[in-house]
Amino acid sequence: MRFVVAVACVLGVQAVVSCVDVEERTSRFCREHPEICDAEGDDAGAHDGGDAGDAGFDGGVDAGDAGDAGDAGDAGPDGGPDAGDAGTPRWDPEGTPNTARTGHTATLLADGRVLVVGGFSNASGTGALTSVEIYDSRNGGTWTSLPPLQVARGEHTATLISGGKVLVVGGRSGATPTKSVELYDPASGTSPRPDLPISARASHGAVLLPDGDEVLVMGGGANGETGLSNSARYAVLGGTWSTGSGSMRAERNVLSVTMVLNRVFAVGGYNANRTEGSYDVYTPGEGWSIASGPLVEARHAHAAAVIGQGELAAQLLVTGGKRGDGAGSVIAFSSTEVIPTEEGSGNTSIPLDSMFDARFAHTATTLKSGDVLVVGGSDADYDSLSTVELFDSNLLDWVLRPAIPTARAGHTATLLDDGSVLVIGGHGSNGVALKSAERYWP
């Protein structure tokens, strides 16, 4: 794989120096980690990243669609700027949602709208919500309430399946997790589906498998002290559950789950014994990997996203997180690492440069450029952050971006069709859920 010099490298002494620095950094990385960088010169740009599917509950982009950012033209009837103009990155307020919420989900629908489901009214996890609303950027950024869920829940999953419907699984109300499953149709509301055939759970993961026929649900916890390792598959067409998918090698509560190159990576998390310093891989048709892969840093409440271009294209970037729980006992991380994702590339995670700020309960979103945007989160004192950072996939380094106007953690960040990122809800340092949304323009 040859490194392609960033488009910012143009004529001029200063630019040439920058280009040399980029090439030197990338060449050094590839010399040290040939298992990731293909020395044979294969083109592994964003076009070859494969279909990354549902990037998990951070709302990350499907890395297979990163493509060439090019000139995206006019942003459309929402009145936003021409997304093809490389202007200064900025944040804009994006109307007022109908409900304050944290620990919710935000699912991008095929028509470009965003379905926002459930959550809590505060960071302690009490006040679970049944409320559902939809955001539509095409009508000036409007928020419209929809029929509620049948079961109040937060820390659940919400996965887009065929027909524009969303499968809502598990979660909790207060300290009690649920097995409840609902199928939500934005056009008509919710309908119950068979309960999970495995134990009730929250803070788990769910992803639509590459064939589009099944949703894989795994991990999470039955309470705040333990983790779960088992998994189940939901058949989209039949509406039935199967437990034949087996279990991960480790119990993982508050993990990250990401589809990369048609395989599912379940990373980190915690259980009654420890914070997990490993990851498991699920291959459709084969099941869970025989052995877990090691992480550089044991972590939970982190965020992971697929790198969309450059020498690390289609590799999984793992950011931040924490060890411990409760005020005074938390170690928050600024460290980052990359997990090799190709079969046969080895399973040892590789450290990258640290972020500027240690954080957990943040979001990491792959932009159409292939870079990864990290927003907000909490520090070790549980103060919510407003800082924003970008992993530049060409520089292989972190750069600061404009801070989000409202500090928040436990929010969602959704890549919209025009390349902007919609950040919804979360909570401030006082733990109270936020009734606000902001939109990032790269």
Q: Could you list the pLDDT tens digit for every one of the 442 residues in the chain?
A: 322 223 233 223 233 333 335 455 555 566 566 656 653 333 333 333 333 333 333 333 333 333 333 333 333 434 444 443 457 999 999 999 999 999 999 999 999 999 999 999 999 999 999 999 999 998 789 999 999 999 999 999 999 999 999 999 999 998 999 999 999 999 999 999 999 999 999 999 999 999 999 999 999 999 999 999 999 999 999 999 999 899 999 999 999 999 999 999 999 999 999 999 999 999 999 999 987 789 999 999 999 999 999 889 999 999 999 998 766 689 999 999 999 998 876 678 999 999 999 999 999 999 999 999 999 999 999 999 999 999 999 999 999 999 999 999 999 999 999 999 999 999 999 999 999 999 999 9
CA distance 39 to 36: 9
Alpha carbon separation from 441 to 30, 93, 134, 167, 307 (Å, rounded): 32, 11, 21, 29, 19
Q: Supply the pLDDT for residue 38.
A: 53
Q: Is the dihedral of CA 285, 287, 290, 296 positive or negative?
A: positive
CA distance 408 to 423: 10
CA nearest to 385, candidates 423, 353, 414: 423
pTM score? 0.84
Provide the token pair at 231. Answer: 């998994």
CA nearest to 74, candidates 428, 417, 439: 417
CA distance 113 to 108: 6
Alpha carbon separation from 309 to 246, 341, 395, 408, 442 (Å, rounded): 33, 14, 11, 29, 16
Q: Supply the pLDDT for residue 291.
A: 77
Q: Supply the pLDDT for residue 48.
A: 33
